[in-house]
Amino acid sequence: MQALKPLSPSASVIVCTRDRPEKLKRCLDSLLNLKNPPLEIMVVDSCPSSFSTRDLVKGYPVKYSLLDRPGLSTARNMAIREVKGDFLAFTDDDCYADVNWLEKLMENFSDEKVMGATGLVLPLELKTEAQQTFERMGYLRRGEVKLTVHGEDIFREVSVLGAGANMAFRKRVFGMVGRFDEALGPGTLCHGGDDLDMFYRIFKAGYKITYDPGAIVWHQHRNTYEHLRKDLFKYSAGHFGYLFKCLINDRNLSALSFGWRVFWKANLRKWLLSLVVQQDLPKDLLTYKMLGCLAGPLFFIIERKCK
């Protein structure tokens, strides 16, 4: 394939994957169609069960690294060490990038105090009830209004920034606040929270992050009810694993009060009301969410002891 003409300032795009070559192909095709291409695209193949991903990327002008253990944070940290760009943009293998995605993300770094940028994540399809329910809950979508935040109300502001499927950072910020916490994220017991933890640490260091809905990727939501239940458990576990880390590492009691408000308002209160009045979510989904909230701190303790 034709070599990419790199974008200025230099940006590296990182895609971490595990055993999803069909989805990765769609993602890479979209990245090669960017209006302003990156300096490089790196694929990290995390603990694969076959050579299918390696064989796929041979047909693309991308860098390839093989990781011998699972964990999205571990894979991202490997890429951070190896790529050359001054800016690092991350998306997931089950996402499809808009042609202006990278350009829109990079526009937000004109302010030197902005260390990160996130964008809008839209559903690639809404064919099943499970996909529609997931989208309605707003786990990935963060609205249509651009905003720059700097952590005055730190836990609330972390929660409005979007998701790791669509984010970019100045590379030098990882030397300031550290790389991704390998006790958090997919591939660990916590299943998530790695992106939230990074946003939190950037705010704590006194810098800003911009959410720009003009930077768009489309995400392939899981299409079955069983996958939806599991995903709700995982998102909740990751969220509360990250909050627990903030509580024990920084002695930040605001993490405790914020966590209780989330647990009560979005979970326990609705579950109790569901006993008498139908809620926007079925009781079993609310139960899975609550179990994830309760499991997250324990999962973080176990992962931290294993590292």
pLDDT digits (tens, 9 = 90+) for 126-138: 999 999 999 998 8
Render pLDDT for 138-160 as a digit per residue (tens, 0 to 9).
888 888 899 999 888 999 999 99
CATH of domain 11-223: 3.90.550.10
The answer to whether 41 touches 16, Cβ cutoff 8 Å, is no
3-state percent breakdown (helix, strand, coil) of the chain, nearest 5: 45, 20, 35
Predicted pLDDT at 4: 52
- pLDDT band at residue 2 under the 50/70/90 scheme: very low
Per-residue pLDDT averaged across 288-295, rounded? 98
The average pLDDT across 38-56 equals: 96
Amino acid 8: pLDDT: 47
Task: Inform me whether the pLDDT recorded for 7 exceeds 70.
Answer: no
Query: Under 8 Å CB-to-CB from 243, ≥6 apart: which residues?
Result: 155, 255, 256, 258, 259, 296, 297
Average pLDDT over residues 246-267: 95
One-letter amino acid of 5: K
Instruction: Concatenate the DSSP letters of all residues of 174-204 into one string.
Output: HHHH-S--TTSBTTSSS-B-HHHHHHHHHHH
Residue spans per domain, the chain: 11-223, 226-306
Task: Tell me the per-residue pLDDT of 196-213, one tens digit each, with 9 for 90 and over.
Answer: 999 999 999 999 999 999
- 287: amino acid identity, one letter: T
**Contact assessment for residue 213 and residue 163, using Cβ atoms and an 8 Å cutoff:** no
Distance from C-alpha of 44 to C-alpha of 20, rounded to nearest angstrom: 12
Mean pLDDT of the chain: 94
Q: How many angstroms separate the first and last alpha carbons of the chain?
A: 40
User: What's the predicted TM-score (pTM) here?
Assistant: 0.94
Per residue in 69-91, pLDDT (tens digit) is: 999 999 999 999 999 999 999 99
On the question of pLDDT at 259 being above 70, the answer is: yes
